[in-house]
Amino acid sequence: MRLWALLLAAGQGSRLAAATGGVAKQFLTLDNAPLYWRSVETFAACARLRGLVLVFPPETVAEAEAELTRLMAARQPGVPVRTASGGPRRQDSVRLGLAALPPECDAVLIHDTARPFATPALINRVIDALNDSDGSDGGAAGVVPGVPVADTIKVVREGQVEHTPERQHLVAVQTPQGFRLDVLRAAHSRAESEGLDVTDDASLLEACGVPVRVVEGEAANRKLTTPEDLAMLAPSPAPRLPCTGYGYDVHRYADDAATPKARPLRLGGEPIPGGPCTLAHSDGDVLLHAVMDAILGCLGEGDIGKLFPDTDPALDNVNSAVLLSEVLRLARERGLTLTHLDATLVAQKPRISPHREAIRRNLARLTGLPLAGVNVKATTEEGLGFTGAGLGIKAVAVVSALRPA
Ligand code: MG
């Protein structure tokens, strides 16, 4: 069998055109290429196909050919690709496309490019069934994929139900449809001479009394028809990479609350009543500072000292949660999504454990992370060093996130 595929990209898609500002549906983009290109790639990957004919609307064929040349320069399909100018009806486009097939071709698959999700497995089922028809049983010269119909279908005339066909005998027919070329050409000439008007090629064979075999279709092989279907073309999410940021901060305790720049202790935005005061230009929230540095680490943006200089009078006694919201705004702008925060407070005094859960909840609220994505630990340094001597407090934070690749 010398098999080619006819890919129809000549329809006007009037139902969709209204929703797309007049762009015919096969020229909508999917993965940065026109919709029809997806079919070119799927069919070109099918080893038993000798070549492809693309049928474009007659009024835009030159433009479409120029774009096709550009696409093929970047991504060679590996089989010959011809083009043809379509006609007013689908069956005219098929007839004109058939005329562009090479003389040696003896079988053809016809596919609507408005069905971009047909798979190689489906194409192979259609081809296998066509091959069977070459056997001694003189089987079908036409093959169509069909899927069971979920809805009850009624035959209606002038607003009245005429009858209800039995559902087990109904299938919704898809493309690609496969045909022996001599049979399909004969059916098309008969349609021409008898003025038959059909919506698919299998119907032409039926009209000529030629049996058409049904193979299993694919539910996902939908035809883009309505504006709602455009959602199926939403670009696949951009690739993202996991990343980790680390933050570390220390604040000295003030001797007493009267010391200049002494701030009542806040940890993770949570006031710690009765705790020592920290010395700071801002509100001295050592934990939020470590968290911000960890987020900035994911962004490659240095540290909070760079963003919020402690010489800026506007930041005197500023609420660190406000600074955090600014850092989170930057993160959003840069496409960073936080996934987890793990923090450790290191202090001899005050005792953190009674506040640990409140701090954790507050961090989840401020960062927008789920509670399960936030952990807070507290430890002492067993009397060693400046925290051990009760001179100050330190905080360490590790933030995990996803960033654009
Ligand atoms: Mg600090």
Please state the separation of Cα 385 from the chain's center in Å. 52
CA of 371 to the centre of ligand 1 (A): 24
Mean pLDDT of the chain: 90
Residues, CB within 5 angstroms of ligand 1 (ion): 249, 289
* Residue 244 clears pLDDT 80, i.e. is over it: yes
Interatomic CA distance for residues 30 and 371, integer angstroms: 38
CA of 335 to the centre of ligand 1 (A): 26
CA of 394 to the centre of ligand 1 (A): 9
What is the pLDDT at residue 4? 97
* Residue 186 clears pLDDT 90, i.e. is over it: yes
For residue range 343-399, list pLDDT tens digits in order: 999 999 999 999 999 999 999 999 999 999 999 999 999 999 999 999 999 999 999
For the whole prediction, is pTM greater than 0.85? no
CA of 243 to the centre of ligand 1 (A): 23
- The pLDDT of 316-324, averaged and rounded, is 93
Element (H, E) at 129: helix 120-132
* Residue 2 clears pLDDT 70, i.e. is over it: yes
For residue range 3-39, list pLDDT tens digits in order: 999 999 987 555 555 556 666 655 666 767 888 999 9
Measuring CA to CA, how many Å separate 404 from each of 22, 252, 333, 390? 33, 37, 11, 42
CA of 284 to the centre of ligand 1 (A): 6
Interatomic CA distance for residues 356 and 183, integer angstroms: 79
**Alpha helix positions (H), 142-259:** 181-194, 201-207
Bridge partners of residue 346, in order along the sequence? 379, 394
CA of 201 to the centre of ligand 1 (A): 74
